[in-house]
Structure 1
Amino acid sequence: METQNIGTQLILWKHKILEHNLYYGNTKYWNTIYNMEHKVLKHYMKHKVAEFKHILRSYLTLEAFKLITNGYHHL
């Protein structure tokens, strides 16, 4: 994945989370993604794709990770 596409990808993930009712009327998942964005975007240039996947996984529940990465196998 090219660096300039990371921001777009994270926006798509945000929408997927909301569309699939993982928001649950609170800020849990929104804050998770918000915090992930800042940390991942800040350090992405220093990480390889596999490391990016590991970072992404560390900020999400397994269910959310599987959901939002479904169809994004190029990660």
Structure 2
Amino acid sequence: MKAGFIKAALAAVVLTSVTVGTANAAGCMKGAVVGAVAGHYAGHHAVVGAVGGCLVGRHMARKQAQERAAQRQPVKVE
């Protein structure tokens, strides 16, 4: 059990260092942790879960940022 979490933490660190930059890493760490825990309990696939969680976390963070940007834009009245 400890080895799975160590591998997941290592994968999260590697993924974060690969995606250098705060804007690109938004959501990756949280997603990687959640994915690693889920992957660990779903058959000892913590690393695969961490990678998948990072990708999903980044996608959701990007989507949320786009929605926030769309709300800030003023409505054009002609």
TM-score by length of 1: 0.46
User: Which structure carries more relative contact order (alpha carbon 8 Å, separation 6+)?
Assistant: 1
Larger fraction in helix = 2
Structure with bigger gyration radius = 2
TM-score between the two structures when normalised by the length of structure 2: 0.45
